Amino acid sequence: MIGIVVVSHSPALAEAAVALALEMAGSAPPTIVVAAGVADGVGASATGTDAVRVAAAIDEAASPDGVLVFMDLGSAVLSASMALEFRESECEVRLSAAPFVEGIVAGVVLAAAGATLDDADREASGAMIAKNAQLDGPGEGGAASSVPPAGENSDAVAEATVVNEVGVHARPAALIVAKAAGFDARVTIADADDPTRSAPAGSLLVLMGLGLAKGTRLRFTGSGPDAAAAVEALRAMTADGFGET
Amino acid sequence: MTVAGDTVTLDQLVEWLHRFRTLVVENQQYLTELDSAIGDADHGSNMARGMNAVAEKLETPEAVDSLFKTVGMTLVSSVGGASGPLYGTFFLRIGTTAGAVTELDAGALSAALRAGLAGVVARGKAEPGDKTMLDAMLPALDALDASIAAGADLADASAAAFTAAQAGRDDTEDLVARKGRASYLGERSAGHLDPGATSTVYLFQALAGALGGLPE
């Protein structure tokens, strides 16, 4: 499982963002290490970032699967890039361009679902696309318009009804993203009764934003070499309630 | 020009840092005022906190590289703002470039400062004219090198660097910021001196003081 590092000027901001992400991450969250604030010289903490603390946080979160680092603004980015020179661990480390809160939520949830560093990084960085899509509404720009229409270039189609009580919330969405990433296929998930409500199977935040409730009939449309296997896998996990009741 | 010579000793480098700390602390309020106009009003307090922490660790350094490693690491873990990684990188690169020596001749001093400048550029990705510390540092080093090339001693060369840094800082007043928090203001950042360029002037004022380039 990838490790997560959160770099902020403010310990309170970092802890709150992590707490929000943990609410959605299920019972086996990744290692998350916060590096926030700076020693004020008289034994307390001041607003700021400390590259040495960030380096220590990266070493603490180090994992063979890599570490994904989220930063707030300004010196947090400079301190994190400097920390790459100071750290002693040798695993891959990625500084995420994602917006702070959305990035942490996506990164933590995806890490918990077993996503690779590449997938977690790409998905977290796409957080602004998901937010734009939410603001514009379906089909009016942002990610929604980038979703290929169902039925076009499709090599495989399957349907399943959402049976678990809370619908496709963060954890099921993360499982879908992690599962879909294992196939050489491009899969779109849509509400079969309202196909304008659709999302790429790789996009955690867009999927979550759809608010697919219990009873919704999902249509999985796949293209590419593994399309049949991918849509079957997603259909099966949906029918199974994502392991929930 | 009583201290001037062809080499810079470890004691003079320590004096440079003490003088820089004194100037930063004395002008803490002024730096913060400049920063409150176009930034987040913490440059003075951040730099004072950082250089006060540095000053506590300057006793009996063994060599130039270990001295500046201590200075750089202390700044990155005590300043808090962007100037921590930027000044921290500046001093760390000076140390690694100078090596485990106890004095620097003019060429070695210039090479070390140039490496520090390159570190600042790599870290902050600023270019000349972006209204940053670079706009004082680059002309200062150009003036230092030109003076050395013209045969000046280190006292005069450091004085020339200080003068050029001041001119560079003054020129930041009309610039529109393209880096850091000030860049959020766009055109409204013009009409204010850049706080980072201003603290960089103190850096070269302190160097000139330590190398005998200021009138007693």
pLDDT score at A142: 39
Residues whose CB falls within 8 Å of the CB of residue A185, separated by 6 or more in sequence, listed in order: A155, A156, A222, A223, A224, A225, A226, A227, A229, A230, A231
pLDDT score at A8: 97
Structural domains for chain A = 3-125 (3.40.50.510), 148-243 (3.30.1340.10)
The verdict on A39 touching B (C-beta cutoff 8 Å) is yes
> Which residue of B51, B77, B120 to mutate against A (max A Cβ within 10 Å)?
B77
Residue of A nearest to B181 (CA): A74
- Closest chain B C-alpha to A90 CA, distance in angstroms: 21
Select from B76, B124, B180 the Cβ nearest to the Cβ of A51. Answer: B76
- Residue A245 pLDDT greater than 70, yes or no: no
Select from A9, A39, A81 the Cβ nearest to the Cβ of B78. Answer: A39
Domain boundaries, chain B: 7-210
pLDDT score at A140: 40
Q: Which CATH architecture has domain B7-210?
A: Alpha Horseshoe (1.25)
Mean pLDDT, residues A220-227? 95
Distance of CA B33 to the CA centre of its chain: 19
Contact B85 A47 (CB under 8 A): no
pLDDT tens digits, A141-177? 434 434 444 445 688 999 999 999 989 988 889 889 8
For chain B, the residues whose C-beta falls within 8 A of a C-beta of chain A are: 40, 42, 46, 49, 52-53, 73, 76-86, 88-89, 123-124, 180-181
Mean pLDDT, residues A173-192? 90
Q: Which residue has the higher pLDDT, A175 or B26?
A: B26
Residues of A within 8 A of B79 (CB-CB) are 38, 48
pLDDT score at A153: 67
Residues whose CB falls within 8 Å of the CB of residue B153, separated by 6 or more in sequence, listed in order: B1, B4, B5, B6
Residues whose CB falls within 8 Å of the CB of residue A90, separated by 6 or more in sequence, listed in order: none
Residues of B within 8 A of A78 (CB-CB) are 82, 84-86, 123-124
Contact B80 A47 (CB under 8 A): yes
Contact B80 A41 (CB under 8 A): no
Q: Can you tell me the distance from the alpha carbon of A173 to that of A110, in angstroms, rounded to the nearest whole number? A: 9
DSSP-derived pairing of the beta strands A93-95 and A194-200: unpaired
Tell me the pLDDT band of A40, cut-offs 50, 70 and 90.
confident
Question: How wide is the angle at C-alpha B116 spanned by C-alphas B111 and B122, nearest 5°?
Answer: 125
Residues whose CB falls within 8 Å of the CB of residue B64, separated by 6 or more in sequence, listed in order: B10, B13, B94, B95, B98, B99, B100, B101, B102, B103, B104, B112
- Closest chain B C-alpha to A49 CA, distance in angstroms: 5
Q: Can you tell me the distance from the alpha carbon of A14 to that of A22, in angstroms, rounded to the nearest whole number? A: 12
pLDDT score at A227: 95
Do the interacting molecules here have an ipTM over 0.90? no
- Residue A74 pLDDT greater than 70, yes or no: yes
pLDDT score at A88: 97
Residue of B nearest to A86 (CA): B73
